[in-house]
């Protein structure tokens, strides 16, 4: 038994802090930027429980959908589909965003509607298209029928009478360990001049220079964690308004969170609607400056050779862009070396199911 500072048995929270561990951050990521709530410290047992829950289809109403169904290590914690498929084969309206390096972020989902990973973990469980549960209470009651889970929650949180908050904290703890770094690009920046090919080095120079990708895909996690309208899907009769549906701010219409470029070679298709099948298509879309609409963000500005913006009409690409065909090829080469190669999370899978 663990003992608290007053000489008596330790509370569940005190037990957690006794066994708190420091997350090992791979090369290329900044440990100071980690977001780990004070009320949800990482412990080995909690991470193991979260991993168990993450891959368990019993979190869904009919036992067919797990977190890993849409966020699979095999696809860089996405599902490789334009839009996600939930319970009873229902299709969602957006592509599954990668959960890689989410330990460095607060707002979650494409539209930022969840303020933390804990809140994000709870959302899909009661979404009628995703996991289809009528309530969080239904999820908890189902898990409480499983002896292994009652025992695991007792060990981790000091209570077998757990709530949805405990479930979400465990899942979030596991998700925070899914870090991607120590990629060829990181090793190149650390002084290994052999880590990147010549083509990839040219791509990196374009990424940080003429192509201006770095304006939104900032080093480290390669996302500024902000919301931008690139014109994706805005020509549809009823476009997805993204961040606007959360904030109701006019300038947020059609704006979506900048996705990480870590392991982007694994996470196709791209954009919030999965409309770009390849990295080549993504680069070409940005080279054209997106699609004109009243809420287009200022960041993807296409340039002519003289550096001046080109004229454009509503619903049209803003220009042919300044990047040449070789430039675009080098940009793609520069994107691929952002994949982790050490401690490869793609080898992760579910533990045997608890009974």
Q: Is 130 a catalytic residue?
A: yes
Give the distance from CA 321 to its chain's centroid: 29
d(CA 158, CA 32) in angstroms, rounded, equals 30
- Cα–Cα distances (Å) from 80 to 68, 83, 151, 278, in that order, read 12, 9, 35, 11
Q: What are phi and psi of 72, to 5 degrees?
A: -95, 135
Q: Using DSSP, state whether 228 is helix, strand or coil.
A: strand
Residues composing the chain: 355
Structure tokens belonging to residue 137: 């209470």
Contact predicate 264/303, CB 8 Å: no
Catalytic residue among 118, 130, 175, 284: 130
Torsion, Cα of 264, 117, 82, 332 (10° steps): -10
Q: What are phi and psi of 255, to 5 degrees?
A: -95, 135
Contact predicate 61/135, CB 8 Å: no
Q: Using DSSP, state whether 51 is helix, strand or coil.
A: helix
Q: To which residue do tokens 């080995």 refer? A: 44
Q: Could you say which DSSP state residue 39 is in?
A: T
DSSP letters spanning 110-169? TT--BSSHHHHHHGGGG-TTTT--S-HHHHHHHHHT-HHHHHHHHHHHS-SS--HHHHHH
Active site residues: 130
């Amino acid at each position: 038994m663990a003992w608290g500072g007053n000489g008596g048995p330790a509370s569940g929270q005190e037990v957690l802090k006794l066994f708190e561990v420091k997350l090992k951050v791979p090369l290329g990521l900044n440990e100071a930027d980690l977001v780990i709530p004070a009320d949800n410290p990482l412990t080995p047992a909690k991470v193991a429980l979260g991993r168990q829950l993450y891959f368990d289809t019993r979190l869904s109403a009919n036992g067919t959908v797990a977190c890993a169904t849409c966020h699979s290590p095999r696809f860089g914690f996405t599902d490789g589909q334009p839009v996600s498929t939930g319970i009873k084969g229902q299709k969602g309206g957006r592509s599954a965003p990668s959960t890689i390096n989410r330990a460095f972020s607060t707002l979650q989902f494409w539209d930022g509607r969840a303020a933390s990973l804990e809140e994000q973990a709870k959302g899909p469980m009661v979404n009628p298209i995703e996991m289809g549960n009528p309530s969080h209470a239904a999820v908890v009651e189902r898990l409480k029928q499983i002896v292994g889970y009652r025992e695991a929650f007792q060990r981790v949180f000091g209570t077998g009478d757990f709530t949805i908050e405990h479930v979400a904290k465990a899942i979030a703890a596991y998700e925070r360990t899914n870090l991607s770094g120590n990629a060829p690009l990181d090793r190149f920046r650390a002084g290994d001049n052999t880590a990147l090919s010549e083509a990839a080095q040219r791509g990196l120079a374009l990424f940080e220079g003429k192509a201006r990708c770095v304006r939104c895909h900032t080093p480290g996690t390669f996302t500024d964690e902000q919301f931008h309208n690139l014109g994706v899907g805005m020509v549809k009769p009823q476009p997805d308004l993204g961040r606007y549906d959360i904030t109701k701010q006019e300038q947020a219409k059609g704006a979506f969170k900048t996705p990480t470029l870590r392991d982007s070679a694994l996470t196709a298709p791209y954009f919030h609607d999965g409309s770009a099948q390849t990295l080549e298509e993504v680069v070409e879309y940005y080279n054209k400056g997106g699609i004109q609409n009243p809420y287009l963000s200022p960041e993807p500005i296409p340039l002519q050779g003289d550096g001046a913006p080109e004229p454009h009409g509503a619903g049209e690409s803003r220009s042919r862009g300044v990047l040449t065909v070789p430039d675009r090829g080098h940009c793609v080469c520069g994107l691929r070396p952002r994949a982790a190669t050490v401690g490869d999370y793609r080898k992760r899978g579910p533990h045997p199911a608890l009974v």
